[in-house]
Amino acid sequence: MKNRLFFALIFLSVMSISCSQTENKETQIAWDTWGVPHITADKIEDLFYAQGWAQMHNHANLILKLYGSSRGKGAEYWGKSELENDMLVHTLGLEELAEEWEVKQDPEIKTIYKSFVDGLNAYATAHPEAIEEKNKVVLPLTTKDLNMHTMYVIFTRFIAGNDLGRVQQWPDLGSNTYAIAPKRSTSGHAMLVQNPHLPWWQEFLFFESHLKLGGKNMYGSTLVGFPGIAIGFNEHLGWSHTNNPIDNADTYELELKDGGYLLDGKVKEFERSKKLIKIKQEDGSILEQEIPLLQTIHGPVINQKVDKVLALRMVGLDRPNMLLQWWRMINSSSFEEFESSLKMAQIPFWNVMYADKAGEIFYLFNGLVPKRSEDSWDYWDRIIPFGKSADVWTEVHDYADLPKVKNPANGWLQNANDPPWTSTIPLALDPNDYPGYMAPQNMPFRPQRSARMLIEDESISFDELVDYKLSTRLEFADRILDDLFVAIDASDSEKAREAKKVLEDWDREADADSKGTLLFFSLGKKV
């Protein structure tokens, strides 16, 4: 474990404001040498006020840019390059949905949001020199902004990221996580690996925090601009997330006719509305542009051709307490409390991998899975044609319906963005026990490598688990090199024999300076 040196920096000006509001004089922020804030408070209002302050201290201009963009006013603030993003925000109706959520949200999350936003604004007021001039137009921030930013990230980057074409396609990268039971652990204690892989920029940037509320320690990270902890641990338990192959957004292709669209072969009228978007010109003047918005029973129209439109349907629009569920998770002290938090079913995406001090390990294929009319993954994993009302789902599966494994006999669980069926081997989950649209049936090479390392180690130490997390060994190379060598031996190519010698000496680790890795990938491209 890293040896961290701590030094306390108490922000007297900010805490004096907090004190006058809450009559609490014990709140402080201590920064360690990695720039991580360690926040101590006795009241929830002070804790999240301080976390908002700390996030602005580290990322003020990024947060303002993200909130301004999620507000749907990027073009008004920074020019026409932001117009497409503004149109998406308004097409999806995030502003109106945020207003609905603010009415429906639990009082506790309202308190968290208000305190966090107050902290963001207080830092900006106390340190105007930290704010770039072009970003000051976004201030002050509101809880509505926080709601819209949360929606923007979760809906457009994760739930409908593929449908909207807004996620990076990284065929060789992805998150991974392990949970090791005491029976397979050298120490006799459960172990958990939290290893999310995101681009480390813009809205994907993680913010790490140590929160201490009334003597309770909570540590972890969340996406910048979000309050709380989304992946974390406390003195009793911890969890991680990985992106799961879950299909909880659908794109429908609808044919146009007589000013409407075809539904079950009959013309149905669009619900029509308009939005006025302001666009900042190079000379600083403002141009106003009106955009038409079309709504179908499938969802909002996100693209339009001469004779067809594409409409998008997403889960989670009725779940305003997503971040409250994370707060309940990090405050849990037992598996029973943690599972009770999961049953809130507010978080619409992401696998959950769990381990605790009592030795329990657990995996959940978490998310909101629509109850669908066709029992087939392939049917829904596409742009859905023909405009059938039977394809419009309205309900999602309950927590009880989701694939999950607790304390498997073999003593380990893994996920590397693979479907739930291969979370442990031998399989503890039978895909035939679940609807065909729940998840695909495959196991790519990354999870195969992950599972192999755990299967081959009967007693896993902490250091070994760290090595497994960081392993760059290519399972694909282990699978095919012997056959490739046979083919080379049967050939007359001198260059092929030279390549074989390099590959025989290669450790099959995909390190940055590895000649074997470069050669292996070059051969793969030629094949």
- Our CA angle for 318, 320, 324, nearest 5°, is 140
Answer with the residue of higher pLDDT: 160 or 15: 160
Residue 404 makes CB contacts below 8 A (sequence gap 6+) with 362, 363, 364, 365, 420
- Our CA angle for 148, 152, 155, nearest 5°, is 125
**Chain CA centroid to CA 294, Å:** 29
pLDDT digits (tens, 9 = 90+) for 232-278: 999 999 999 999 999 999 999 999 999 999 999 999 999 999 999 99
Pairwise CA distance, residues 223 & 149, whole Å: 11
CA proximity to 227, closest of 141, 166, 338: 141
Neighbours of 426 (CB within 10 A): 8
Interior/surface letters 264-296, b for 16+ CB within 10 angstroms, e for the rest: eeeebebeeeebebebbeeeeeeeeeeeebbeb
Mean pLDDT, residues 424-443: 97
Residue 107 makes CB contacts below 8 A (sequence gap 6+) with none
Could you identify the residue written with the tokens 């405050």? 331
Domain ranges of the chain: 6-159, 176-248+318-367+402-470, 249-314, 475-526
pLDDT digits (tens, 9 = 90+) for 11-49: 333 333 343 343 445 799 999 999 999 999 999 999 999
* Count of CA atoms in the C-beta half-sphere (13 A) of 186: 9
Q: Quick one: CA torsion of 6, 11, 17, 21, rounded to 10 degrees?
A: 10
Which of 169-178, 306-315, 347-356 shows the lowest mean pLDDT across its residues? 169-178
Query: What would the two tokens of residue 122 be?
Result: 């207080």
The confidence score (pLDDT) of residue 166 equals 66
Cβ atoms 245, 378 nearer than 8 A: no
pLDDT-derived band at 167, boundaries 50, 70, 90: low
Q: Specify the CATH number for 249-314; select among 2.60.40.1080, 2.30.120.10, 3.30.70.380, 3.90.550.40.
A: 2.30.120.10
pLDDT digits (tens, 9 = 90+) for 103-117: 999 999 999 999 999
Which of 160-174, 261-275, 330-344, 382-396 shows the lowest mean pLDDT across its residues? 160-174
Does residue 359 come out as left (phi exceeding 0), alpha (psi in the -120 to 50 range) or beta? left
pLDDT-derived band at 524, boundaries 50, 70, 90: low
Q: How far is CA 165 from CA 158, 325, 418, in A?
A: 11, 28, 21
Q: Is 209 exposed, middle or buried (0-12, 13-18, 19+ CB in 10 A)?
A: buried
Cβ atoms 315, 290 nearer than 8 A: no
Strands lying side by side in the sheet with 176-180 = 191-195, 176-180, 412-415
Pairwise CA distance, residues 214 & 211, whole Å: 10
Q: Looking at 360-411, list the stretches that DSSP marks H as alpha helix, in order from N- to C-terminal side.
A: 377-380
Q: Specify the CATH number for 176-248+318-367+402-470; select among 3.60.20.10, 2.30.42.10, 3.90.1150.170, 3.30.70.1280.
A: 3.60.20.10
Pairwise CA distance, residues 71 & 383, whole Å: 29
The confidence score (pLDDT) of residue 523 equals 75
Q: How far apart are the first and last CA of the chain?
A: 44
- For residue 141, give the DSSP letter: P
Pairwise CA distance, residues 371 & 437, whole Å: 9
Type and span of the H or E element at 32:
strand 28-32
Dihedral sign for Cα 376, 382, 388, 394, please.
positive
Q: Which CATH class is domain 6-159?
A: mainly alpha
Residue 96 makes CB contacts below 8 A (sequence gap 6+) with none
Q: If DSSP codes are grouped into helix, strand and coil, which group holds residue 353?
A: strand
The confidence score (pLDDT) of residue 23 equals 43
Pairwise CA distance, residues 326 & 240, whole Å: 11
For residue 140, whether the previous peptide bond is cis, meaning omega lies within 30 degrees of 0, is yes
Residue 48 amino acid letter: F
pTM (two decimals): 0.92
pLDDT at 380 over 50: yes
Q: Looking at 393-474, list the stretches that DSSP marks H as alpha helix, in order from N- to C-terminal side.
A: 445-455, 462-470
pLDDT-derived band at 89, boundaries 50, 70, 90: very high
Residue 170 amino acid letter: W
pLDDT digits (tens, 9 = 90+) for 455-468: 999 999 999 999 99
The confidence score (pLDDT) of residue 526 equals 56
Pairwise CA distance, residues 436 & 438, whole Å: 6
Residue 193 makes CB contacts below 8 A (sequence gap 6+) with 176, 177, 178, 179, 240, 465, 468, 469
The confidence score (pLDDT) of residue 174 equals 78
Which of 11-15, 202-206, 481-485 shows the lowest mean pLDDT across its residues? 11-15
- For residue 396, give the DSSP letter: B
For helices 475-489 and 494-505, give the axis angle rounded to 10 degrees. Answer: 150
Query: What would the two tokens of residue 376 be?
Result: 């087939």
